[in-house]
Amino acid sequence: MIHRVCICLFLCLMLATQIAAAEEAGMKTEQFKEATRLVEEQVESGLAGAAALLVAHNGRIALEQGFGSLSRKAGAKPCRSDSVFLVASISKPVTAMAVMRLVDQGRIALDDPAQKYLPEFTGDGRERITVRNLLSHTSGLPDMLPDNIELRKRHAPLKDFVSGALRTSLLFPPGTRVSYQSMGILLASEIVERVSGMPLDRFLQREIFGPLKMRHSSMGIGKRKIEDTVQCDLPARGELRMEDSDASWNWNSPYWRNLGVPWGGMHTTVGDINRSLQAMLEKGRAILQPALGESMVTNQNAQLDKPWGLGWAVGENALYDGAPANVFGHSGATGTLCWADPDRKLAFVLFTNQPLDNDPGHFLRQVAKAVSDAVGR
């Protein structure tokens, strides 16, 4: 009984502290409390087993809190604000930052043909695909390979995915349409490895994570144990539907956690992703020249049907309902969302273990909208 009372007092004190910080940061108390309530309800209802939420305004953290447990197992450790999640496609803009670091160093040019760095990437119009196309989802490459599931089931190494991406048929002529393509990000990462002469995970540690002090981030699980990270719930529908019987290759398997796919294999915390967002709010501070940093969050597809930056999603309503055109960020299939608003210097990071395919109510966007409404324009 005494233990429960202590926990309740602690939670009340923590909430009061967060509300005070939010008010000091210029946020409306009721909307701020609504965002927290939505997350608490999602976890208490069991729809999500774990969550971590961070909100920063004008460079100051107004909220950083964990909810739930690392896994659905009885007695699992609590999920804290610094717990590590597999963030899926939030990996994409981080991989793009690695490419842009080499652009900054003059070792890659965005409008060079990808073939310049991948000589075997020929035929079927592939010669016209530029590095910019790979980062802005205009290459014509598919999102996933036709044999994606088969590759995972046989525990294929990453080089087999690269080989498939170099040969797979294009969906349309490069630069004529926008179609979300994980395989374009994969080939962009292959260019990073060939130009830098080191694996992507090591390049990221040296050139991105180190300078930005993202101390809890890695492409792949790194030296961690899977049980010390948040366990993903599995998608019950969609193209990547998974079941418990897929334990040898699903999101929680040693195979997938160690593979470190550049389009979706990053492990990180809400605090570290906030550091990357803050860097982009300052036009690439610490890793890029300002013009290059700004280009990453600027629409590259002005003449096409859907806006994208370089790795980052941009555009009206792209990250939440009512989002202005200059808000940038990304979501991830494992149940993650991050974004930043340059005008209000507002950053939002929400990680959960509830797959996007299991969430017809668009929970992440609801919380994002509540946080946005809590800050005046």
User: The tokens of 52 are what?
Assistant: 């971590």
Backbone angles phi, psi at 136, to 5 degrees: -110, 15
Separation of alpha carbons 340 and 346, rounded Å: 6
Q: Binning pLDDT at 50, 70 and 90, where does residue 23 land?
A: low
Model confidence band, residue 337 (pLDDT cutoffs 50, 70, 90): very high
Angstrom distance (rounded) from CA 27 to CA 66:
20
Closest by CA to 274, choosing from 88, 96, 59, 100, is 59
Q: Which is higher by pLDDT, 29 or 39? A: 39
pLDDT for res 5? 36
pLDDT tens figures, 298-329:
999 999 999 999 999 999 999 999 999 999 99
Q: What is the pLDDT of residues 249-268, one digit of tens each?
A: 999 999 999 999 999 999 99
Contacts from 34-43 at CB under 8 Å and sequence distance 24+?
A: 34/370, 34/374, 35/63, 35/367, 35/370, 35/371, 35/374, 36/63, 36/65, 38/363, 38/366, 38/367, 38/370, 39/67, 39/350, 39/367, 40/67, 42/352, 42/354, 42/363, 43/67, 43/68
Q: What are phi and psi of 218, to 5 degrees?
A: -160, 150
**How confident is residue 27, by pLDDT bands cut at 50, 70 and 90?**
low
pLDDT higher than 50, residue 71: yes
**Of residues 239, 262, 237, 257, the one with CA closest to residue 247:** 257
Among 354, 370, 374, 360, residue whose Cα is nearest residue 79: 354
- pTM of the full predicted structure? 0.92
CB-CB contact of 78 with 50 (8 Å):
no
Residue 33 has pLDDT above 80, yes or no: yes
C-beta neighbour count of 74 within 10 angstroms: 6
Q: Which long-range contacts (CB under 8 A, 24 or more apart) does 10-14 make?
A: 14/65
Q: What is the mean pLDDT of residues 164-176?
A: 98
| Most confident listed range (6-20, 21-35, 149-163) | 149-163
Instruction: Return the half-sphere exposure (C-beta side, CA atoms, 13 A cut-off) of residue 117.
Output: 25
* Residue 24: band (very low, low, confident or very high) from pLDDT cuts 50, 70, 90: low
Which of the pair, 291 or 24, is modelled with greater confidence?
291
Lowest-pLDDT range, 6-20, 54-68, 139-153, 161-175? 6-20
Order across the sheet with 60-68: list the strands: 60-68, 50-57, 346-352, 336-341, 328-332, 313-314
Domains and CATH numbers, the chain: 85-373 (3.40.710.10)
Q: What is the pLDDT of residues 179-190, one digit of tens each?
A: 999 999 999 999
How confident is residue 1, by pLDDT bands cut at 50, 70 and 90? Answer: very low
DSSP 169: P
Average pLDDT, the chain: 92
Coil, strand or helix at 70: coil
**pLDDT, position 10:** 38
| pLDDT tens column, 227-254 | 999 999 999 987 888 988 899 999 999 9
